[in-house]
Amino acid sequence: MPDQQLRKTLIRVPAAAMLLLAILPAAVFGAAEPFKDSSNSYAKQEIASLTQSGMISGYGDGTFQPKKEMTRAELAKIIVKSMGVSEQPEMAASFKDVKPDCWCVGYIGALVAMGITKGTSETEFSPEAPITRQELVVFFIRAFGLEDAAENIKKKANLSDMKDVSKYALNDVSLAYQIGFVNGIENADGSLRFDPNEYAERQALARLAYEFITNKPAYLDKAATLTGGKTGSDE
């Protein structure tokens, strides 16, 4: 599918994102829990901080539903907001399943403009489809501008189910794990797995978005160290 074709793009962090970068680290530790169901989430602090800054929101019943599956449209919104770039609704015009008046059209268009997505086909984006854990990683690696780093990584991640990772996502998952952007899930024997084909949860997106906003330079440095400076983010 077209989203599996990596495209090189230069990603810069605009002033709005830099402002969030300055605010969020201090806010996360003092943020009150804004949702009645987020206290047991491993990402409760990130959820609280991103909610305070207006990056994410919950539901009308006062819940965040941290374990609910994340859709492609929701992911598009959070990545665009995390990057601090403008919406570009006209760039989503080729997708017949994204209506011009949809709340997500500008976010999807922005991802298209930056080369982060080409849709699930030439005429579809599948905005309501749930996104898998490996797809989530691929989108963020592209947002980091680390396609080249992923291509140049030599050592694969020490995760027990790497054989289940799709070929298009294999290097991205390896890179994301080795720079510490994603963590493994512990098996009974103490080894770690990734569950690449499981659907991504809202709490996972909250944690990754927070990490992207607050620690992007550190992750870029780690990627450069792993690949001998060949990250592609500063070309």
Task: Phi first, then psi: give them for residue 169, nearest 5 degrees.
Answer: -105, -5
pLDDT at 231: 64
pLDDT for 151-178, tens place per residue?
998 888 999 999 999 999 999 999 999 9
CA 76 vs CA 71, 93, 128: distances in Å? 9, 15, 11
pLDDT at 3: 54
Task: Phi first, then psi: give them for residue 21, nearest 5 degrees.
Answer: -60, -35
pLDDT for 35-88, tens place per residue?
999 999 999 999 999 999 888 999 999 999 999 999 999 999 999 999 999 999
Residue ranges covered by each domain of the chain: 71-129
pLDDT for 180-221, tens place per residue?
999 999 999 999 999 999 999 999 999 999 999 999 999 999
> Exposed/middle/buried for 52, CB within 10 Å: 0-12, 13-18, 19+?
middle
Q: Determine contact, residues 226/175, Cβ cutoff 8 Å.
A: yes
pLDDT for 83-110, tens place per residue?
999 999 999 999 999 999 999 999 999 9
Q: Other C-beta atoms within 10 Å of 39: how many?
A: 11
